[in-house]
Amino acid sequence: MRNRTVLKLFGLIAPILTYLFALLWPGRKARVAAIECRNKCQIMALVQNLASYIDPEGKTPLQTIVAQCYDLGDFPALWAVEGVGKDLAEWHLARNENPARVLIDAELDEKYDGAWLMLHAGWGLGVAKFYMDRLKDDSEASAAHVARRTVDLCRANSRQGYYGAAIESLGLVTRFMKNAAFCKKIHKELMAYDPDSVGFYWRGVGRCLYFHPLNFIPGILRPCRAIGLAEKEAPGEEWKETLLAGVAWPLTIVNMTHPEVMEYVLENHDDYFSGSPGFFNGVVSTVVMRYDTTPNFPLVKQFMQHQPDPKNRTLAGLWNSKIKGSLETAIQSIYPVLKKHHRLDEVFRYQSLPALAARLESGRE
C-alpha cells in the first residue's frame, strides 16, 4: 500500500514461500494455498497500480478512465475501478483538502453504472490513507482527526446509497497502517461522532485482516490467520461477526476464479466459520457487489454452479446449501431490492440482508 515497487516484489516471493510452508505442514494443500496467496498479491497490485490512474493534470474524463478499467476485462475491472477512486481522492486532496461533490457531480454513461460502488470504496481508501500518512502520533486526538475528516469527506462526496462503501475503507486503511489498539481509538471517536459508520468501519477492518501481511504467513493452528485475528481484535462479542464477514468478503471475491479455494474452506469449516452467520454474510455480500459491478460477467454463475467432486458428498452438500443456494437467493431476491431503493452500500456492513430487503419492500425502512 505504501510502496508500489515493494508490493510487486512481494507478489513474486510470497506465493513461493507459502507453497513451501504448506508443503511441509500436515493436512494443508500447498497448491491451493499458493493459488490463494498469488490471487491476493495480484489484487493488491491492481488497486495500487504501478502508476496513478489519474493523469497529473486531471484532464482525462472519469468515464474515459473507467472505460479503460473495464477494457482490462471483467475480473480485474472491479479492483482497477477501486484504484481509480483512490487516486481520484488523492489527486483532489493534494490540491484542496476540502473537496466536495466530486463523485456526486461526476458523470458516467449508464453502461458503467456498476462502477459507482468501487469508485466510492476507492474514494474512502484514498481519503483515509491521505490523513493516516500525515499522522504525527497515535494519540486519541490524532485518531479523532482522521475519523472526522474521513467521515466528513466521504459524506460530502458520496452519492445517495454509496456512503457505506466509502467509509468502510477507513477500517481497511486503519488496520493496515496501524494496529488493533489504534483501531479501537477510531472506534471510540466514530461512536461519538457518527455512530452509523461504526458497522461499516469494522467490516473494513475485517477486510484488511485478509490482506494484512500477517495473513500471508500460513497459520499453524488454523490455515487462515485472519480468522483468529478477527476473533481476537473484535471490540466486543457483537462485532466479531462483523469482522468475520469482512474476512470472508475478499476471501470469496479474490478467489472466485479458483473455486478450489472455497472448497478448502468448506472442507475445513471448523477452522474458518464453524457456524458463524457473519462469515456467510460476507460471502453473499461480496457476490452482490461483484454482480452489480459486472452484471454480464459469467464468473458469478460459474462460481455458483461449480460442482465439487461428487464422491465427496459432504463437500457437495455444503456447496449447494452454503454457496449455490445462498448466492442464488441474494442475486434474485436481495440485490434487486437494494438497487431499487438505492441502498447497495448496505452490503458493506454485517446484517441480515433478507430482513433488510423485507423492510425496504414493506416501507418499514
Lowest mean pLDDT among 6-20, 166-180, 279-293: 6-20
Q: CB atoms < 10 A from the CB of 332, how many?
A: 9
pLDDT at residue 274, as a whole number: 85
Range of the domain at 96: 4-362
Q: What is the pTM of this model?
A: 0.93
Question: How many domains, in total, are found in the chain?
Answer: 1
Evaluate if residue 255 carries a pLDDT over 70.
yes
pLDDT at residue 37, as a whole number: 92
**Average pLDDT across the chain, whole number:** 93
DSSP for 32-73 reads HHHHHHHHHHHHHHHHH-SS-SS-TT--S-HHHHHHHHHHT-
Evaluate if residue 1 carries a pLDDT over 60.
no
Lowest mean pLDDT among 187-201, 237-251, 265-279, 338-352: 265-279
Lowest mean pLDDT among 45-49, 155-159, 318-322, 332-336: 45-49
Q: What is the pLDDT of residues 51-100, one digit of tens each?
A: 788 889 989 999 999 999 999 999 999 999 999 999 999 999 999 999 99
pLDDT at residue 24, as a whole number: 81
Evaluate if residue 194 carries a pLDDT over 90.
yes
Contacts by 294-297, CB closer than 8 A, 24 or more apart: 294/74, 294/75, 294/77, 294/78, 294/114, 295/114, 296/74, 297/74, 297/75
